[in-house]
Amino acid sequence: MRIVLDTNILVRANPKVSPAGLARDLLLTIVSANQHTLILSSAILVEVRRVLNYPHVQTRWPLTEEMIAQYAAFLEAAAFCVEVPEFPPAVVVKDPDDDPILQTAILGYADVLCTRDVDFAHDLGKEVCRERGIRILSDIDLIRELRRTAES
Each residue's pLDDT tens digit, 40-77? 999 999 999 999 999 999 999 999 999 999 999 999 99
Distance, in Å, from the CA atom of 48 to the CA atom of 53, rounded to the nearest integer, reads 9
Number of domains the chain contains: 1
Tens of pLDDT, residues 66-109: 999 999 999 999 999 999 877 666 665 566 678 889 899 999 99
- What is the largest distance, in Å, between two alpha-carbon atoms of the chain? 43
Q: Can you give the residue range of the structural domain that contains 100?
A: 2-151
42-52 helix and 65-78 helix, angle to the nearest 10 degrees = 150
Tens of pLDDT, residues 4-31: 999 999 999 999 887 678 999 999 999 9
**Where are the alpha helices (H) located in 6-88, listed in sequence order?**
7-12, 22-32, 42-52, 55-60, 65-78
Predicted local confidence at residue 42, as pLDDT: 94
DSSP 113: E
| Closest CA relative to residue 136, chosen from 6, 35, 30, 44 | 6
The CATH number for 14's domain is 3.40.50.1010
